[in-house]
Amino acid sequence: MSFEIRHNDLLGKIGYLRTKSGSVETPLLLPVVNPNSQTIPPQQLRDTFSFNALITNSYLVWRKHREDKEVPKIHELLGFDGVIETDSGAYQILQYGDVEVQPSEIIRFQEQLNSDIAVILDVPTGEEGSKERAKWTVDETLRRADQSLKLVSREDILWVGPVQGGVYPDLVSYSAREMAKRNFSIYALGSPTPVMQQYRFETLVDMIMAAKSQLPPDKPLHLFGAGHPMMFAFAVALGCDIFDSASYALFARNGRYMTSQGTAKIEELEYFPCSCPACDKKTPEKMRRLLLMERERFLASHNLYACYSELQTIKQAILDGRLWELVETRSRSHPTLQAAFKRMLAYADKFEVETPIRKRKGPFILSEESLFRPEVTRHQQRLLERYQPPLHVKKLLLLPEEHLRPFREIPDEGGPIERLERRTDVHICSYGLTYAIVPQELLDVYPLSQTETALTPTPAATNHACIRMVAYLKKFRYSRCVMVVHEPWQEQVAESIKRKFKGKIRVHVVKADAFDTQALRTVLKALK
């Protein structure tokens, strides 16, 4: 049994998890199936909706079959030939306070069920209670993990080690660090459901990152109870690989229609914003006329299609290197997601480490938040740590990127740029809002010339560029800097640099709407 990572972007991964019943691709959603009652038959989840794995509750099976002479096999019981994960009853502990089964009993029972993936009986933290009780749930879960691993006799079942701690990131971090010392095939973050139900996605970001930073990167992370497509992109970008939820059915029962932008009540819809097989050629009005059971089945079907479609969208975004753009786009659909996205920026350094250096496509800079994406922060960091300007060159010419770009696209034979390039005493760099300073010799290096931007010179974006330009000038100590400007924000940056380096670097500001022969004369004069 193994987890093979094929592609990655940010902390998101496309991987293959091998089990004794076959391999499944991650990011993976496990629809929750009640072993005693199903809105949609389990095998139909695979044949119709393309879900090759599901999760069911072994505790509920145990309650019904504990007196039987022979324990049923879970695949036969559900009539499902894909991968089955079994939960242990911890959800019932969260809901009702306790269960009558012992941790050792449920371990042996799941082995008898022949589960592909199984969860030990942990103690969920939830969101109620003191921090002291939260610490107890962490310690008790770790104690049960040690007890359970001693009882495990089957090596062909992938066991899940739950991480607890609730809304306390320090406890989550401690729980994850300790759980990582136990040899589980999969790790899981418990107790996020109440946080998600209250749309506290900003808190969820801290919970996931507290766990992810302490867990092995080569093991999948399961986010328990996360099943709404509006937050999949965020969770994947933060490093979650597996999700499970009964939301597709629970929401359907309450007449709620899932989309990647949020949830709508079918009573309030005039049109279906979807063309999935469930919605095709149907109208909300017609669906409202159905019998309650038929309407519930329709909504459950659509909700499953919506979840599956969003996961496919996420996988393609990972392949294209566009997961950041997808998360940023999804963040615009709800204020709490926007807050979560801004919270993600605090972990920008974590994303940079895991993001590939080259991608299929260049990045899009959509807003000020895009300035924290890995491609941008990586350039700025490596420019200071790994770059060295041409030796013995002490004169720096800073050209606005929009001035230099035309000459990069069309040869400047005999033009002003070519005349400057012949000089060995001048170092030409472009500058802009996104990457701040880019040496001319690096302009064709990915992703600098492949970036598309819609960034406007807001105070925050201007300050971001100014800080990084100052850092570059501090690092490399030119004796003279000539800066060509033509927009107000560029003039502001130039004045800031002049004040910052007064008496240290001779800074000349040249105003020019275009870099033509007249501008060249002024620049050459300033470079003398």
Active site residues: 87
Q: Report the alpha-carbon distance of residue 115 to residue 119 in Å, rounded.
A: 10
Q: Dump the DSSP string for 280-338.
A: TT--HHHHHTS-HHHHHHHHHHHHHHHHHHHHHHHHHHHHHT-HHHHHHHHHTT-HHHH
Within its chain, how far is the Cα of 28 from the centroid? 14
Distance CA 308, CA 394 (A): 57
- Which of the 8 DSSP states describes residue 486? -
Q: At what angle do helices 201-212 and 335-344 cross, to 10 degrees?
A: 30
What is the CB-side half-sphere exposure of residue 34 using CA atoms within 13 A?
A: 11
Look up residue 398 and give its two tokens: 């800073």
With the CA atoms of 150, 152, 158 and 160 taken in that order, what torsion angle do they form, in degrees rounded to the nearest 10? -50
Q: Residue for token digits 């470079």?
A: 527
d(CA 445, CA 372): 19
Q: Answer for the pair 216, 13: CB distance below 8 angstroms, yes or no.
A: no
Cα gap 191→164, rounded to integer Å: 7
The one-letter amino acid code at 418 reads E
Roughly what angle, to the nearest 10 degrees, separates helices 103-113 and 58-65? Answer: 90
